[in-house]
């Protein structure tokens, strides 16, 4: 009959169930994918290393630290990094960073300062920011801390808001965060705001820097002293007792020569170390790309090494931090 529509042959019920049954949603192996999860810092379950009384502060641990990192990405900020000529590869190249091998924890040494125990000389290299020259917009300072073998020891990053940086310029209060190769903040340096409108010999107008290691635990202060013709500072312990003195040159803006700040004993007789701002040619005269050499005795107390290290940054901001040039009207 022409009106009859042909139908499919009937199949057993079991075969129809097999055809309509969806595939098993649980395969034998999970699919491969790239995870974007970044693990956070470990908790306090990791036991402290043997021989370190009391263990580390909360959240601080000491795994086996790698000695070489393929590329350094600074913490914070969105501006591209430009390096000093002769010190780094070109900006469009990968920058292999070799870190100083992580030392073992030591008794009576704040965590993270074990690096300084092994050193008698460190280099402070400030990053050159061309955007400051072109836009006159002050950005956060960044520094690389290296040893004589050109191995990275620390990274120092300024943490100041845009308004404060550009409103107060070289007089701005700031927070500097010192991190190691694992990105852990091992030291914090704070400079409070001091008004310079009053008499320059007034104590309230003198600059000061507080050094904390680990962050939250004060180990000392760097205090400015009034002097008619040269820079003079006192390095103090946590009780604000004078321990050492820093004496700068009569002219810190010498063109074509290094500026030497001598670290001396309180009586001025013994020479303990020095903070030397190296002359880098036109780069030193026109841009914020300073290079400091810090020298101290190898057997000096590690906290005092950290205090001399901190004094370098107060000196940099007070005498060598240049504001971007202002447009003439």
- Least trusted range by pLDDT, from 183-192, 221-230, 271-280: 221-230
**Any residues with CB less than 8 A from the CB of 314 and at least 6 apart, and which?**
191, 207, 209, 222, 224, 233
- Give how many domains the chain has, as a whole number: 1
In a domain, 192, yes or no: yes
pLDDT at position 159: 92
In a domain, 278, yes or no: yes
In a domain, 43, yes or no: no
Res. 76: pLDDT tops 90: no
Res. 88: pLDDT tops 70: no
pLDDT tens per residue, range 151-161: 999 999 999 88
In a domain, 222, yes or no: yes
pLDDT at position 200: 54
In a domain, 311, yes or no: yes
Residue 70 main-chain phi, psi, to 5 deg: -70, -35
Residues 145 and 310: their CA atoms lie apart, in Å, by 12
In a domain, 255, yes or no: yes
| pLDDT over 70, % of the chain | 60
**Any residues with CB less than 8 A from the CB of 70 and at least 6 apart, and which?**
94, 96, 97
Token pair recorded at residue 70: 């393929």
282-311 average pLDDT score: 85
Res. 135: pLDDT tops 60: yes
CATH of the domain at 131: 2.40.160
pLDDT at position 187: 97
| The residue to which tokens 């820079």 are assigned | 231
Please give the residue range of the domain that contains residue 164: 121-320
In a domain, 134, yes or no: yes
CA 26 and chain centroid, separation: 48
Q: How many residues are present in the chain?
A: 329
DSSP conformation class of 99: B
Res. 251: pLDDT tops 60: yes
In a domain, 328, yes or no: no
246-253 average pLDDT score: 80
- The answer to whether the pTM exceeds 0.85 is no
pLDDT tens per residue, range 14-57: 555 455 455 554 445 444 434 444 455 554 444 444 444 444 44
State how beta strands 68-69 and 232-237 pair: unpaired
How open is the CA angle 289-276-326, to the nearest 5 degrees?
35
């Amino acid at each position: 009959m022409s009106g009859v529509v042909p139908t499919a042959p009937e199949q057993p019920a079991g075969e129809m169930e097999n055809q309509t049954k969806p595939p098993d949603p649980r395969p034998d192996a999970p699919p491969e994918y790239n995870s974007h999860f970044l693990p956070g810092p470990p908790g306090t379950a990791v036991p402290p290393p043997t021989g370190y009384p009391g263990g580390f502060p909360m959240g601080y641990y000491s795994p086996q630290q790698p000695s070489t990192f393929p590329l350094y990405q600074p913490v914070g900020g969105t501006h591209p990094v430009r390096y000093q000529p002769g010190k780094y590869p070109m900006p469009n190249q990968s920058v292999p960073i070799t870190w100083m091998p992580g030392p073992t924890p030591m008794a009576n040494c704040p965590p993270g300062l074990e690096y300084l125990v092994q050193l008698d000389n460190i280099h402070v290299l400030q990053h050159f920011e061309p955007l400051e020259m072109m836009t006159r917009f002050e950005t956060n300072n960044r520094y690389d801390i290296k040893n004589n073998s050109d191995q990275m020891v620390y990274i120092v990053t300024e943490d100041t808001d845009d308004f404060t940086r550009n409103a107060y310029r070289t007089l701005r209060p700031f927070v500097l965060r010192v991190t190691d190769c694992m990105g852990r903040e091992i030291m914090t340096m704070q400079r409070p705001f001091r008004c310079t409108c009053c008499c320059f010999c007034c104590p309230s107008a003198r600059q000061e820097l507080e050094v904390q290691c680990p962050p939250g635990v004060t180990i000392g202060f760097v205090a400015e002293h009034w002097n008619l013709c040269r820079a003079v500072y006192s390095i103090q312990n946590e009780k604000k007792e004078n321990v050492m003195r820093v004496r700068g040159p009569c002219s810190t803006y010498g063109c074509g020569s290094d500026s030497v700040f001598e670290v001396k004993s309180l009586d001025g007789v013994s020479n303990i170390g020095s903070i030397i701002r190296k002359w880098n040619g036109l780069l030193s005269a026109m841009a914020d790309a300073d290079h400091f050499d810090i020298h101290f005795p190898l057997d000096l107390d590690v906290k005092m090494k950290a205090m001399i290290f901190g004094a370098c940054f107060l000196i940099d901001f007070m005498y060598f931090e240049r504001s971007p040039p202002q447009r003439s009207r």
